Structure 1
């Protein structure tokens, strides 16, 4: 087994104090984050992985998603604090068989916890046996013998699945609801699976919100793994491949899994840095290159929403204008072609805002470049003269263009960006006030606190307490 937690004391405590050997378990390694764990998994056979959820570099949730695809035979158990319970449902959906609450972990309870975990493994594994420390499946009992199968996926999970009852199920068929609105149907179809897909589409065409996926290469794959894959395909595969009006798809599970890259937090952060700038708005080549790269990563719907919601807020800060409030909410975008349409609309709206000034495209691009440079590193002390020189414009002309295009004078814009960054750090981190002052470009805490109060009506400490109390009340 492998233990993953960013707290070294927690890892060492679990390794030393838990009675692993009593239950036939051996700790083969430890890791401080998801990325380090994946590196260990490349070279070390693991049956059981115990992971924290909140970790830097790669979270436990992202680690679990990756393990489910690339190491589906590994059992997962979650380490959590009591306040992390909102993540437990997500971890169970990803295949975790149990969770350990750190605040309830004491010497007296350790044996009961391991007994419970091993009991679940025994219960869920059925006829699995252990050979040389590895879990080996009994093929004739739990693996598919057919080469092909069909998956039926509702494009909206809440769609009633009564249509599944209309399938011509025969003895020996394997029909199960893999997910809400998603069904897996396997039979020894042979070559007729392709014709059957067309026929089934005709029978179910009364509901155009259903797609049919012809599955290849499933022979010898564990049924539970196919079901887990189907859930992940819906989230990372069909999300990007769905085309309006197309209702039949052909997928090789093996090839599809191999095409999904491992995505680390650095990849997502890099995408955020790109899209939060406005370099893509007036450059078609950059826009399409970044779309291609983003599609290659196959981020989950939740990650796409988080990325573009945050990037959208940066666009609004840069332009001093509301863009998201009047547009389609990112939470309503389900498939990649919808994201592309949404981004095209954002391009048009941003161009409308910047073109009101009637300046030429090169001038607008230069001003947007200046605004991006400010937001990318708010700690820099770049004067108006220095920035004008950076974008090859005269001081007076730059000052006038900046005000006309962005909507406020240069110095006021810099101040507002720093205050906004300080507000984020005050609400999202426990960073000391003096450190926040430095991080937002102010020489000392006293000057920062005075300016912050002038702009918000509260001192930094008061602002933090008010926001934290408000968050607690909303949770309650």
Structure 2
């Protein structure tokens, strides 16, 4: 039964309304009577009715004032106004306060009153349904919904049925006519997250999901799910009948998604849209098509049998050798040659990611050999992997990697120089680090610095506690030891690579500094590797 409160200062008028209907027959009951607004509010505090029938003209608090109070304090109560006057100002104010309609007392009929009572009931039921839906939405778990959607992309057994059951139980997609999906890939995700902990990687994924969801809209109609390894699925549902309209909506949403990821997280991504379908069961196959399209460039342009899967051991040793020699120019040329074989592949391709990961590994090896006490990520002026999120092509990635290697070589050179030296000695040490592999001398170094050779020699002895030649030989022998560890060159080749014109002189200097011959040092290295 819907409870109705009568509010009128005239007892006769209240009696007429009560006797006009068989209230219980129509589903209503009179729960109380009040003869002014103040009394009505007191009664409503004790028991709130579903509907209030209010007289406009009453003492103490008239119906207009009462309707304002009810709107503020009891917003769910439906109000029907009664008036002895057809005054539009009264009517307009009452309607603005939430009254569903008004009736003139002298024209009041049972049918008209019942029509308004039924209208009030309809509004109450609609609001109740909306409230129930809102509560359900509040309890809807986006995490669970996203996992169901992600399982479609992972081709999990019974994923489609599980999503349909969840959608039915949570009243999702009820009015949807068409569905679609998109595959999204953050590039290059693997390289960015390779050095991150699982917690850091999860945090990045969650941030990406939040930004993407914000860009595309309501999670109940457009849901982002994480598939893995930087790839996502976006499920679209639409009430549009036109597939063209749905496709247009999807493209607009995906454009906003790309823009938001780049703007808020500095991440570039690519996407492909699958076929539109009229059934939730077909979203999985739609995603498979989108996923295939995302990789179509890779499939069309390259023969899998001739793909460069990774760097060869020879290539790794050669590049590591250039780093140990601090030869930035040859390292850059070598990296450019490697990327020449990758330029036709998508930047998010597994081969590209593997090879670039190997390039990072070689950098870490070289850094540890030169500076085992300091972590590479703590080194000033070395680019961070977070910058990789901006890479949209292999060409961009190539330029970044060439710069990365060049910055590393400069950092190792500065680390070698080290110490609190005078300006002239610091420049001299830098010159040696850059040119030790060539036939340099004290005179050449002094000339490059616009100094007198005798003056530079004296400064060197005072600050370095050794002669110029002694320091130069130490740098050369230190580098030769690293080259021996790489196992790439023979001893005679190594002597020339580090700047010795004579192998005999190299042999003599090596033994003087290390107290063993180059061959003995090589033999010890072989033994330690067994």
Is the shorter-chain TM-score for this pair beyond 0.5, marking a shared fold? Answer: no
TM-score, scaled to structure 2 = 0.34
Query: More helix per residue: 1 or 2?
Result: 2
TM-score, scaled to structure 1 = 0.37
Q: Based on CA coordinates, which of the two structures has the bigger radius of gyration?
A: 2
